[in-house]
Structure 1
C-alpha cells in the first residue's frame, strides 16, 4: 500500500469517527461562522429544535432560535465568544420549529480550523422538564414546611426503628 493511499484511508477513518461522534452525541451540537450562520447541525439538534440540517444551513442562529426579547443579549454573548475565544456557559430560552419555547443549558466556545478560520461551537441540552420538576419540588417543600410549621397538632416523624427523626412541637399558648 502506498503512503498516499494509507494517508487517504486514515483521513477517511478520522472523518468517519468525527461524524459518528457528532451525530451520535446526546447533546445538541451547532457550529456557526463569525457571521453567526449555521454551518453544522447534528441529529440531536434536529430532534430538539425540529428543523433538518439542510433547512438551517446558512441561517442566522440567533434569528432562528432565540426569542425576540433575548436576541440582543445572546448576540452580545456570541460577539464576546468570538472576540476572546473563551468558553461561555449560559441558560437561555430557545424557539422550536413548532413555536414552542424550551430552555436550554448551553456551552459555547470557538475553534480554528486548519485553514485558520474561526467557528463558534455550541453544545446544548434541553433542560425544560428538569426546570419544571425543580420548581414543583420547591413548591412541594414550601407547602410541606408550611403545614409542618403551622400545624396545631404534634407531628413526629420516626425512622424504621422508631427513633425520632423530626418533631414539631405544639405552639405555646
Structure 2
C-alpha cells in the first residue's frame, strides 16, 4: 500500500530519497515553485541532489511516499499559508525513461492531493503552480487560478 510519511519525523527517508534520485529515473512536475510541463528530469548529480534535499528539509511540509519499506514516488513538499498548503516541489518517477502522459501526471497529483487533504494540518485547499486540464478527484473541487490550480476538499477537515 502506498502512503506518505512526514520526512521531518523519519530522517532515514531522506537517505532513501537521495538513493532513489541518484539511481532511478525521476522528474519534477514542480521544483522550487516553478512548473515543469513537460517534465524536468532530475540530473543525477549528487551535489545538486544534496542541495535540493537540504532546501526540502527546511520546508514545513515534507512528505515522502513509501510502500513495502521503500520510497515510491510521488513525493511532495511545500509550505503552509493559513489553512492552505502551497506545493513548492513535486517529484515523480519517470516510468523507466518512457515518460509520463497527462493522465499519469493527473493520477500522481490526485494521489498526493488526497493524501495531503487527509493528513495534518488538514488544509482547506492546496495550491499547485501548474496548469493542466481539469479531471475528477472524489470529494475534491478543482479550480484554475491565476498562476496554477487550487484543490478544495468538498467537506473540509473530513477524512475521505
> Shorter-chain TM-score category?
under 0.3
Q: TM-score, normalised by structure 2?
A: 0.25
Q: TM-score, normalised by structure 1?
A: 0.24
> Higher Cα Rg: structure 1 or 2?
1
- Higher helix residue share: 1
Structure number with higher relative contact order (C-alpha < 8 Å, ≥ 6 residues apart): 2
